[in-house]
Amino acid sequence: MSALPPIPDDGERSDVVLVTGMAGGGKSVAMHALEDAGFFCVDNLPAELLLDFLRLERQRSERRVAIAVDVRSAGSLPLLLPLIKDLRASGVAIRSIFLDANTEALMRRFSETRRPHPLRQDYDTQFGSLDGEDQHRALLDAIALERELLAALRVESTVIDTSQLRPAQLRSWVRDLVGVSGSSLTLVFESFAFKHGVPSDADFVFDVRVLPNPYYDRELRPLTGRDAPVAAYLAAQPEVGVMQEQIAGFLQRWLPSFAADQRSYLTVAIGCTGGQHRSVYLVEMLARRFSHHGQVLKRHRELDAR
């Protein structure tokens, strides 16, 4: 199978997004967001057909293509990673997005929708219809197997943890992600609440719960770290300035190394108790501090969910 011919470096690169991840992770929501953004979307395309499909789309002058690939095409998954590398070597700008979620969230979503897991069908075929505890165990086993099958693809992708995300948040995050250039490392700052869990897509996690908390000031409690009174309060606390400088110093020291290692995406998660004041403020300050970096995104997991 030959790769696509090289693309002239004239600034008119193809824009291809590969959407993959766990069943129940939000691929349908992501694909709808990309379709609304002007992408031509194809669901569950086998890896064997990817090259021919992209060649055909080039002939039709289609510039923005989104392709969903998941465990339903398990037999062709081993072909996918080498093919992605060949396409990139041929000059195709292809970005792989992996939508993940913790097992508890996936179990809840399958229970709410009453949809069967793609790999559950293997259990039903082999053992017949299952009920009760056996059905629960079969679903857990299917999710575990799916993680194993997709592990290598996850490592090579930009991961979004959808465990705590509402559909509107996911649509927004996907649009932000595909809107940035793939030519350099994208730096993402994300605030979150520890009480709702640590984002599994974080490359670095900083715990700022040791800092003074505006929550205990009645006037500041209903506000957020994006509001001027809270920002002024936190800026006046020496410990907050020290924490901010130390996080910034760490990133300044190591960002060049991550960029040199061909990383395309680095997520820095900053957590406090409620994800409303301290973590939000530091995300805002650090995003502003590193705006010269080029590709910088901000996320506020708890605030964006409101």
Binding site residues for GTP, as ranges? 70-73
Of 201, 198, 177, 206, whose CA–CA distance to 296 is shortest?
A: 177
Residues contributing to the annotated binding site: 21-28, 70-73
**3 state SS for the chain:** CCCCCCCCCCCCCCEEEEEEECCCCCHHHHHHHHHHCCCEEEECCCHHHHHHHHHHHHHCCCCEEEEECCHHHHHHHHHHHHHHHHHHHCCCEEEEEEEECCHHHHHHHHHHHCCCCCCHHHHHHHHCCCCHHHHHHHHHHHHHHHHHHHHHHHHCCEEEECCCCCHHHHHHHHHHHHCCCCCCCEEEEEEEEHHHCCCCCCCEEEECCCCCCHHHCCCCCCCCCCCHHHHHHHHCCHHHHHHHHHHHHHHHHHHHHHHHCCCCEEEEEEEECCCCCHHHHHHHHHHHHCHHHCEEEEEEHHHHCC
Residues contributing to the annotated binding site for ATP: 21-28
* Cα–Cα distance, 164 to 104 (Å, whole number): 11
* Cα–Cα distance, 54 to 15 (Å, whole number): 11
